[in-house]
Amino acid sequence: MERITEGELFQNVIQTIRAAAKIIDCDKNVLARLSQPRRSVTVSVPVRMDTGDVKVFTGYRVQYSSTLGPYKGGIRYHQDVDVSEVAGLAALMTFKCSVLQLPLGGAKGGVKVDPSKLSRAELQSLTRRFTTEIAPFIGPQQDIPAPDMGTDAQTMAWLMDTYSNQKGYAVPAVVTGKPIEIGGSLGRVTATGYGAIYIAEKALEAKGMSIKGATVAIQGFGNVGQHAAALAHEHGARVVAVSDVSGGIHNGDGLNVVDLLEYMTTHKTLKGYTKGKSITNEELLALDVDVLAPCALNGVITKDNANNVKAKIIIEGANGPTTMEADAILNKKGCLVVPDILANGGGVIVSYFEWVQDISNYFWDEEQINKSMKKIITNAFDRTWKFSQEHKLDMRTSAMAVAIKHIEKAMTLRGLYPR
Ligand code: NAD
């Protein structure tokens, strides 16, 4: 286990788990079990490249906890993937599913590869061979992967097809985030962005404000950022700034969100959009707004810029956008930070619905999906908020404490096998 537990991300997650466990006086035996993944699989993935040569990649699937249900978590293709990072992300998935009270455990997978350097045929071969290597460990009742960085709906379609070929019949429920045509769910694409805004509404209410007229700045204008902007606008907020890797755009009176989204459809980047003042990503983070939603990268709010943040509320659409030191600074300033495991939970909730629909072979309409997702995510906010008020704690520690408490109950009820 040494290699698994030595990485920085893993260590940070364990530190957060321990701090939260102390608050709820978590059973020491439960904490010991929650401090390591249940299973970690490392596989070789040989791929015949377009040149005719074979290249061997390394892949991982870390299954952290299945106390609450089948393992659930994405598969990442990135050149920096290592087993410890995958394990840390698998732990976060465990607590995300738990704080949302989904009947799912936590897992994560990854292949150490730069997907931008592979052709489509090479990527397909890589995905099919990786799926084959982890096939004994995944399945609709065992472990259900999903997309993550460097993978998408097409990757999930190849995974589903490979697994189905091995079984001899279609098994759509083995993976989520698939295209609609092969068992994907309506509402999955918008889920994370919409969920973040449902949470923003609750956080604003908690601070005695309303989404109507609230000013919002969004960093990252991809899947999460664009849908968050669309719903915030629809619900009457004033989206004053957005940014992507090319930089940001600001208009204190509110940007024209419909026009911006149309621009993105054609240009795929904010570069060249002129209906507002150009700002940098750093300037966006420092805007005096009601809600700041970092929806791009991890580690963007740090001890070096946290003091510049003027937002009243931060909604973590991205995973890990605030470092631990920055979190402490923001809490001290009275900024309400809603952590990633809660704020971006819309995606995994609709993934859960996709799995349920695949298993029952009956598909819901989008209205039902959004309504049910809203109910789950806002209930999770209410539980966490109540805990934070009762214990006078920040929302990050509270979300983790609520999540651990839920798993602790389930673990204690199930007991330890064999004794
Ligand atoms: P995406 O690739 O669709 O969009 C990412 C956006 O971030 C793009 O607009 C990109 O230009 C921008 N970006 C990249 N580098 C940047 C930089 N240096 N500065 C500013 N902006 C930069 O990705 P996504 O699916 O929207 O995911 C965004 C974040 O949300 C990630 O952290 C992801 O892990 C997290 N997340 C996504 C989902 C989901 O369902 N898509 C679910 C949970 C969490």
The pLDDT tens digits of the residues spanning 159-203 come to 999 999 999 999 999 999 999 999 999 999 999 999 999 999 999
Query: What's the pLDDT score for residue 335?
Result: 98
Task: Say yes or no to pLDDT of 29 above 70.
Answer: yes
Ligand 1 test: best mutation among 100, 192, 246, most atoms within 8 Å of CB?
192
Cα(305) to ligand 1 centroid in Å equals 20
Percent of the chain predicted with pLDDT > 90:
96
Query: What's the pLDDT score for residue 12?
Result: 86
Tokens 């995510």 — which residue?
377
Cα(378) to ligand 1 centroid in Å equals 23
Task: Say yes or no to pLDDT of 100 above 70.
Answer: yes
Query: What's the pLDDT score for residue 8?
Result: 86
Ligand 1 test: best mutation among 260, 295, 341, 373, most atoms within 8 Å of CB?
295
| Residues with a CB atom less than 6 Å from ligand 1 | 192, 219-225, 243-245, 281, 295-297, 317-319, 344, 347
pLDDT-derived band at 209, boundaries 50, 70, 90: very high
The pLDDT tens digits of the residues spanning 352-362 come to 999 999 999 99
pLDDT-derived band at 158, boundaries 50, 70, 90: very high
Query: What's the pLDDT score for residue 392?
Result: 96
Task: Say yes or no to pLDDT of 128 above 70.
Answer: yes
Query: What's the pLDDT score for residue 37?
Result: 97
HEC profile for the chain?
CHHHHCCHHHHHHHHHHHHHHHHCCCCHHHHHHHCCCCEEEEEEEEEECCCCCEEEEEEEEEEEECCCCCEEEEEEEECCCCHHHHHHHHHHHHHHHHHCCCCCCEEEEEEECCHHHCCHHHHHHHHHHHHHHHHHHCECCCEEEEECCCCCHHHHHHHHHHHHHHHCCCCHHHCCCCCHHHCCCCCHHHHHHHHHHHHHHHHHHHCCCCCCCCEEEEECCCHHHHHHHHHHHHCCCEEEEEEECCEEEECCCCCCHHHHHHHHHHHCCCCCCCCCEEECHHHHHCCCCCEEEECCCCCCECCCCHHHCCCCEEECCCCCCECHHHHHHHHHHCCEEECHHHHCCHHHHHHHHHHHHHHHCCCCCHHHHHHHHHHHHHHHHHHHHHHHHHHCCCHHHHHHHHHHHHHHHHHHHHCCCCC
Q: Which residue has the higher pLDDT, 385 or 5?
A: 385
Cα(88) to ligand 1 centroid in Å equals 19
Task: Say yes or no to pLDDT of 2 above 70.
Answer: no
The pLDDT tens digits of the residues spanning 307-330 come to 999 999 999 999 999 999 999 999
Q: Which atom of ligand 1 is nearest to the CA of 221?
A: 9
Task: Say yes or no to pLDDT of 1 above 90.
Answer: no
Task: Say yes or no to pLDDT of 385 above 90.
Answer: yes
CA separation for the pair 203, 377 (Å, rounded): 12
Active site residues: 108
Cα(222) to ligand 1 centroid in Å equals 6
- How far is the CA of 414 from the CAs of 64, 66, 67, 68, 272, in angstroms? 17, 11, 8, 10, 57
Ligand 1 test: best mutation among 243, 264, 297, most atoms within 8 Å of CB?
297
At a CB cut-off of 8 Å and minimum separation 6, what does 328 contact? Answer: none
pLDDT-derived band at 138, boundaries 50, 70, 90: very high
Average pLDDT value for the chain:
97
Tokens 């960085």 — which residue?
149
Q: Average the pLDDT over 293-319 and give the result.
A: 96
